Amino acid sequence: MKLSAPVNVLKRRARRLSRDEGILLAKALDRVAADEGYARWSLLAASIAASPGPHDVYAALRPGELLLLAARPGQGKTLMSLKLAVEAIGAGRQAFFFTLDYSRRDVAERLAGMGADLAAFGDRFVLDCSDDISADHVATRLAGIVRAPFVVIDYLQLLDQKRDNPPLMQQVETLRALARRRDATIVVLSQIDRRFDQEERSVPGPGDVRLPNPLDLGLFDRTCFLHRGAVRIGA
């Protein structure tokens, strides 16, 4: 689950509760955990420890692969993708961030919140906020790139919003071929259908991806689903 505050802040909250109400710290921790949606503090701690972070997700990816990164709004998919891009830059790769949803200022603010400076990356982080983003547009921007680039596309459901763009299935096929041809890692962000909010499962799956147009999700080499702090990586 996505916590309302970092773990160290929750622990301080529990210590204050223990002191103010004169209860055992263990009981106070359980009460704080209950406010976060966990029956006991031990379950909250275990969930955080077991959930992969951006480094784990990046380590699981290989050049030439196409990843679907999906979540409901506000669950951190854009933040995760930016962290993955920064990981790639740290590994000596050039990162490309194509977004049909955010402005340059939005992306710069997100990076600043992570302690990163967009301007400081120089040409190692290429930000494209063009209204013309499509699979063909991405392919054109990657032409001439020698080393395996790391690419983020934000987001899947907007790729074919223009009538003159190819169908969504065709574009994903193009991106899959592009990843292999350019030895690129391509991460495509995706929305999750709102009906998932009524489900009892902890993390969505392929069947929850919102698809306004036909698409074979088997075109993706890997999937990564986020929800309330939990991360699930699949193939």
Distance of alpha carbon 79 from alpha carbon 177, whole angstroms: 26
Q: What is the pLDDT of residues 25-56, one digit of tens each?
A: 999 999 998 998 888 888 877 766 555 677 77
Check whether the bond before 155 is cis (ω within 30° of 0).
yes
Q: Tokens in use for 221?
A: 């080499």
DSSP state of 224: E
Find where tokens 């003159």 sit: 164
pLDDT, one tens digit per residue, over 76-106 is: 899 999 999 999 999 999 999 999 999 999 9
- Distance, CA of 34 to CA of 137 (rounded, Å): 48
The sign of the torsion formed by the CA atoms of 103, 231, 205, 61 equals: positive
The ranges assigned to domains in the chain are 7-50, 54-234
| 9, 34, 137, 228 from 41: Cα distances, Å | 14, 8, 48, 16
Neighbours of 88 (CB within 10 A): 24
**pLDDT value at 8 more than 90:** no
pLDDT at position 159 is 93
Whether residue 152 is predicted with pLDDT greater than 70 in this model: the reply is: yes
Note whether 224 and 232 are within 8 A (CB).
Answer: yes
The rounded radius of gyration (Å) of the Cα atoms in the chain is: 20
CA dihedral 75, 78, 80, 83 (to 10 degrees): -150
Question: What pLDDT shows up at residue 50?
Answer: 58
Question: Is it true that domain 54-234 has CATH number 3.40.960.10?
Answer: no
How far apart, in whole angstroms, are the C-alpha atoms of residue 73 and residue 197?
11
Tell me what pLDDT residue 135 has. 97
Q: The pTM is what?
A: 0.78
pLDDT the model gives residue 169: 96
**Segment 110-122 mean pLDDT:** 92
